[in-house]
Amino acid sequence: MVRKEKGRLRSYLLISLKHFLADERRRAVAIKRGRGQRLISLEDLRANEQADMEPADTLTAEQIYERRWALTVLEQVLARLEEEYRKAGGPMFERFEKLLTNEPDRPSQADIATELGMTENAVKQAFHRFRQRYRSLFREEIAHTVAVPGDIEDELRHLIAVLRA
């Protein structure tokens, strides 16, 4: 049973995944599962085939998990924000979402103002409100994964650090 007072959902899921993988490893090497056949280790296979099987990613499994967790939280926040903007009926979400990225081909606020027939100042104000709502939804989403409200700031800093790494 998951209880809020026991900690963060992300941590619970990570520990659960580790236990599951450990159980699966134990089952894989059990004799009854292998029907008495000899298992071949990856080290033996590598030595025999002399294949370079270096991992493509230098991140550890925990780092990959943490990054995917952070990206999932961001995706959920963007989905909620997009839904709000779709209900409002404006074309702003697609334009403002591009402004959140650091991509070189992102439009400027002046470009968006010209495209939408607005003043640049109106676009700046609308984008400011967009970012404020984004931050608010991000905090709400994090609040669903922590035990106490005091942990929100710590979790927020952790997710941002994971994304920057």
pLDDT tens readout for residues 3-55: 555 667 888 888 888 999 888 887 777 655 555 566 667 676 666 665 455 55
Report pTM. Answer: 0.64
Q: Are 99 and 106 contacting, i.e. CB atoms less than 8 angstroms apart?
A: yes
* Structure tokens belonging to residue 30: 């059990």
Mean predicted lDDT score pLDDT of the chain: 82
d(CA 76, CA 145): 13
